Amino acid sequence: MTPERGAAPVDELARRVGHDFTDPTLLARAMAHRSWCAEHPGTTSNERLEFLGDAILGWVVADLAYRRFQDLTEGALTGVRKGVVNAVALAESARALGMGQFLLLGKGEDAAGGRDKASILSDAFEATIGALYIDGGPLVAAAFVERTVGAQMADVAQHLDHLDHKSRLQELAARAGLTPPIYRSEATGPDHAKEFVVHVDLDGESWGEGTGSSKKSAEQVAARQAAAELERRLTGA
């Protein structure tokens, strides 16, 4: 499997990932989106590697959360896991590696901006974990997860009370193929009694509005409203 025009050679990605692959075709396959395979009969997409990588990712993150945050309850540990194991967060990890330039995409998907889509990037990131597991074993795959995803866990644990509605909205937006939420805020009133009004935009359109005594609480209200509306549209309810 060789990169098409527009995709960078995967040996550079291997360097960024930090593993010298015995079988470099595994990493190339991790970058192969089904749209590319549809245009290249006989090739294999990254979906099976993604399936494997997803399971490994869940195991490693659960293990890290359990060992690192011994004072957190089971519910809080679940919150930490959800905060780092979601399409938006994994796509950010993929972007940090510049993974978009290595993706193998069909012409239509490439033209539609597929190299920066959260769903495609997160799938490729999980597939990379699967490729590392097969080529280097569980310790190599776990070390990669700890270097990338694990680095975000402490920050997530400190902000668990602000994750619920905003994370849910990010997930729904990624599933719907929309741009990540943008929050616009303004404050009124004296310094000792400010009220914050926040609007949340998706694809340049306002989807929710919230008010609160702090910007973070107002963002949560706006995100909850936007998430409810987006979920309603996605499910047709």
Per-domain residue ranges of the chain: 10-158, 164-235
Report the CATH number of the 164-235 domain: 3.30.160.20
**181-207 residue pLDDT tens:** 999 999 887 776 778 899 999 998 999
Predicted local confidence at residue 189, as pLDDT: 79
54 included as an active-site residue: yes
pLDDT digits (tens, 9 = 90+) for 95-105: 999 999 999 99
Give the residue, 161 or 141, on which the prediction is more confident: 141
Cα separation, 80 vs 143, whole angstroms: 19
| pLDDT for the residue 182 | 95
- What amino acid occupies position 21? F
**pLDDT of 156 higher than 50:** yes
Exactly one of 54, 92, 123, 135 is catalytic; name it.
54
Please give the torsion angle defined by the CA atoms of residues 170, 175, 176 and 182, in that order, rounded to the nearest 10 degrees.
20
Band of the pLDDT at 6, cuts 50, 70, 90?
very low
Q: Do domains 10-158 and 164-235 have the same CATH topology?
A: no
**DSSP letters spanning 146-159:** HHHTGGGHHHHHHT
Mark whether 126 is an active-site residue: yes
The tokens describing 83, both together, are 């905060």
pTM metric for this prediction: 0.69
Q: Determine which helix (DSSP H) or strand (DSSP E) holds 229, and give its type and residue range.
A: helix 215-235
- Among 92, 126, 135, 171, the active-site one is 126
Q: According to the model, what pLDDT value does residue 5 have?
A: 44
pLDDT tens digits, one per residue of 112-123: 999 998 889 999
The domain defined by 10-158 carries CATH number 1.10.1520.10: yes
